[in-house]
Amino acid sequence: MAVEPLDTRLKRLLVEHGPGIGRVVSGYVRNAAEHQDLMQELALALWRALPGFRGECSERTFVFRIVHNLGVNHITRRKPTEPPTEVPDPSPSPEGRAHQTQQRLRLMGAVKSLPLPQRQIIMLALEDCSHAEIAEVLGITVNNVGVRLNRAREALRQLLGEKP
């Protein structure tokens, strides 16, 4: 079987998982510039990690592991005094879809208000990851995923209920 060149492999991953990557990265950043920086860092990390990927997990799990690990790094590098600037939207907001965009921004804002472990788990669940996949990404047990996800969903519900 022909080995897929690294460039082609990375390009394919970025295209296939691009929308999900973009949404999850948005959950870790505060503005478009940070989004761009983290995306670049992520692409580099993927490129370096890809040669060592032997299919022990799905490609999606592999990609999300890197996204979340770099996301945590990104958050811990910030100065605590830096104020949030804007909520970056990973998708454009075309005319006539203002309501949908507003809802999405409201949801993203609520997700970003969650404590980090809950934020991670809820973003993975919103990306349709199974409990087993979430456990593989975060390195926790499947039972723990269930418990944490329930708490995270409850917290999210409360946040969305509070926000107009």
Partner 1 sequence: MTQDSEWTDLLQQWKGGQAAELPVDTLLAGVKRDHRKQVVAVAGELAAAALLVAVYTVELSNNPPPVIITLAVASLVFVAVWLTQLYRVTRGTWRAPAENGVSYLNLTLQRRRAAVRWLLFVQTCLWAALAFGMAWLPWKLSVDWEMYRAEPWRGLVGVGGYFFLLTALMWSIRRRLGRVTLELAGLEAVAPSMDA
Shortest Cβ 85–partner 1 spacing (Å): 19
Shortest Cβ 41–partner 1 spacing (Å): 8
Shortest Cβ 113–partner 1 spacing (Å): 15
Shortest Cβ 53–partner 1 spacing (Å): 7
End-to-end CA distance of the chain: 55
Under 8 Å between Cβ of 13 and 64: no
Which is nearer to partner 1, 1 or 56 (by Cβ)? 56
Under 8 Å between Cβ of 17 and 60: yes
Which is nearer to partner 1, 115 or 146 (by Cβ)? 115
The footprint of partner 1 (CB under 8 A) covers 7, 10-11, 14-15, 18-19, 21-23, 39-40, 43-45, 47-49, 52-53, 62, 65-66, 68-70, 72-73, 75-79, 90-94, 97, 100-101, 103-104, 107, 115-117, 120, 126-128, 136-141, 144, 153, 156-157
Under 8 Å between Cβ of 135 and 142: yes
Which is nearer to partner 1, 34 or 127 (by Cβ)? 127
Q: How are the residues of the chain apportioned to helix, strand and coil, as percentages rounded to the nearest 5? A: 70, 0, 30
> What would the two tokens of residue 27 be?
């959950």
With CA atoms as reference, report the closest residue to 78 among 44, 111, 118, 38: 38
